[in-house]
Amino acid sequence: MALGPTQRVFSAAKRLLSSLIANGETRLRLAVVELEEERSRLLVLLLLAGASLLLLLLGVATLVALVVVLFWDTYRLAAIGGSALVLIMASFTLAVIALRQAKQHTLLKETLNQLAADRALLEAKNESDQRPR
């Protein structure tokens, strides 16, 4: 049984809508997976950074105490000031490195790449459809 023009249009629109919904669902699932992976990665990163900072703090405190004790009789103020200066410079250096790392965009990178590829395919399809035959 042949479909009429109106039924064919509705059928095509229904297939198009179904395809768009399926594509959107796929992209949404990809975004959710990426967000879950990013959350897990950030949690591990925070735990490792916290433990590392704690151990670094203990190590630096011990080293500063050693330097101050070594120079107690002769240059105690210079030893304390020099240690403080080195620690402050190191903290500023690490802060600059952390700011550079924070500016790098990685969240939902693959999802954005897939959406850009989808858009490029649709634009190429539209251009090919608009060419005179």
State pLDDT tens for residues 6-21: 888 888 888 888 888 8
DSSP 132: -
Domain boundaries, the chain: 1-74, 75-132
At residue 129, the pLDDT reads 66
Measure the CA–CA gap between 32 and 45, rounded to whole angstroms: 20
Mean pLDDT of 88-98: 85
- Which one, of 124, 118, 122, lies nearest residue 28 by Cα? 118
For tokens 């250096």, the residue is: 93
- Average pLDDT over all residues of the chain: 82
With 60 as the cut, is the pLDDT of residue 1 above it? no
**Angstrom distance (rounded) from CA 54 to CA 27:** 40
